[in-house]
């Protein structure tokens, strides 16, 4: 791809740029088509040739790492990757240059960082260049690895963008239904308040009924206790009366009066035929 203006320095090593024809006619201002001789002399193949044709290292290197083109001051420039083999010092220099550019361009140490991704991609291209010069087969394999990594990253980027769009759409849908949810929530809160008040009311009624039943039970228990005491008292008097009667110690008048008393307290009450005429029920 052709760019305008000065081109940025890269970690990938290039040869000196080749100056071509002006990009515009100074008289008409139109673009000047490339000449046949210029094209054949400067441009190299950018399509990877088949292995069966036994391409040269230069053809493979130019196909893997195509030249870059730009226009500067009206002139068209082409720059090809260097075919010079690398040495150990070149690798050390590459490492230093990578760290330097990461610092200069303020690349992040972690997370998604386009600057760091670009610089490491250039560094990997330089490694591919060095390996391809010494072993074209290894260079082709690294080229496949590089393309596979780029394709995978692109797929993840597409997936991420789709996820973001999906999340935004779901958020918009949620916001549209938020008013209905809020209204339903308020209605449920009011219903909860009514049920809580109803619970308090029923609990108060239950406590009142339970208290009333306890008081009634206590009264009945006291009444039964009084009746039981009276019956015991009556039983003692009757026993004494029978004892005296058997001994013959009572005269006729006292006997008649005692019988009348016994009949009085053992006969049913006129108000309640089921109850005796005891002091507690009188």
Look at residue 257 and tell me whether its pLDDT is greater than 90.
Answer: no
Look at residue 63 and tell me whether its pLDDT is greater than 90.
Answer: no
Instruction: List, for residues 182-239, the tens digit of each pLDDT value.
Output: 889 999 999 999 999 999 999 999 999 999 999 999 999 999 999 998 888 888 877 8
* pLDDT (0 to 100) of residue 280: 47
* pLDDT (0 to 100) of residue 203: 94
* pLDDT (0 to 100) of residue 43: 41
Least confident of 137-146, 185-194, 253-262, 273-282: 273-282
Token pair of 195 as six digits: 């049920």
Q: Mean per-residue pLDDT for 245-264?
A: 62
Instruction: List, for residues 31-58, the tens digit of each pLDDT value.
Output: 544 433 333 333 444 566 666 667 787 8
Selection from 24, 25, 68, 60 nearest residue 43 by Cα: 68
Instruction: List, for residues 119-168, the tens digit of each pLDDT value.
Output: 999 999 999 999 999 888 898 899 999 999 999 999 998 999 999 999 99
Q: Which residues contact 276 (CB under 8 A, 6 or more apart)?
A: 265, 266, 267, 268, 269
CA–CA separation, 120 and 105 (whole Å): 13
Instruction: List, for residues 7-32, the tens digit of each pLDDT value.
Output: 677 888 888 888 765 544 444 445 54
Selection from 13, 17, 67 nearest residue 45 by Cα: 67
Token pair of 258 as six digits: 């005692």
Average per-residue pLDDT in the chain?
78
Look at residue 5 and tell me whether its pLDDT is greater than 60.
Answer: no
* pLDDT (0 to 100) of residue 90: 86
In the chain, the percentage of residues whose pLDDT exceeds 70 is 72
End-to-end, the C-alpha distance of the chain in Å comes to 123
pLDDT bin (cut points 50, 70, 90) of residue 264 is low
Reported for 238-241, long-range contacts at CB under 8 A and 24+ positions apart, including other chains, are: 238/262
CA–CA separation, 180 and 157 (whole Å): 36
Centre a 10 Å sphere on the Cβ of residue 62 and count the other Cβ atoms it contains: 22
Enclosing H/E stretch for 204: helix 178-247
Kindly state the DSSP code that residue 270 receives in the 8-state scheme.
S
Cα 268–Cα 243–Cα 224 angle in degrees, nearest 5: 35
Contact 271, 261 (CB under 8 A): no
* pLDDT (0 to 100) of residue 271: 46
């Amino acid at each position: 791809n052709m760019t305008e203006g000065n081109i940025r320095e890269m970690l990938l090593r290039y040869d000196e740029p080749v100056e071509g024809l002006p990009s515009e006619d100074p008289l008409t201002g139109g673009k000047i088509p490339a000449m046949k001789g210029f094209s054949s002399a400067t441009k190299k193949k950018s399509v990877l040739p088949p292995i069966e044709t036994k391409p040269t290292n230069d053809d493979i290197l130019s196909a893997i790492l195509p030249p870059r083109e730009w226009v500067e001051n009206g002139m068209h420039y082409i720059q090809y990757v260097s075919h010079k083999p690398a040495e150990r010092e070149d690798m050390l220099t590459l490492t230093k240059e990578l760290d330097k550019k990461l610092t200069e361009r303020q690349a992040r140490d972690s997370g998604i960082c386009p600057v760091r991704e670009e610089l490491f991609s250039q560094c990997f291209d330089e490694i591919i260049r060095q390996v391809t010069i010494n072993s074209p087969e290894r260079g082709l394999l690294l080229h496949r690895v590089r393309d596979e990594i780029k394709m995978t990253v692109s797929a993840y980027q597409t997936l991420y963008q789709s996820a973001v769009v999906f999340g935004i759409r779901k958020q918009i849908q949620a916001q549209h239904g938020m008013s209905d949810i809020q209204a339903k929530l308020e209605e449920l809160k009011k219903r909860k308040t009514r049920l809580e008040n109803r619970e308090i009311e029923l609990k108060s009624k239950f406590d009142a009924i339970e208290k009333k039943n306890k008081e009634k039970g206590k009264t009945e228990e006291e009444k039964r206790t009084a009746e039981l005491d009276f019956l015991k008292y009556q039983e003692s008097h009757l026993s004494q009366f029978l004892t005296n009667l058997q001994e013959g110690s009572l005269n006729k008048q006292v006997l008649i009066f005692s019988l009348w008393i016994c009949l009085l307290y053992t006969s049913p009450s006129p108000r309640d035929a089921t109850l005796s005429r005891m002091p507690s029920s009188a």
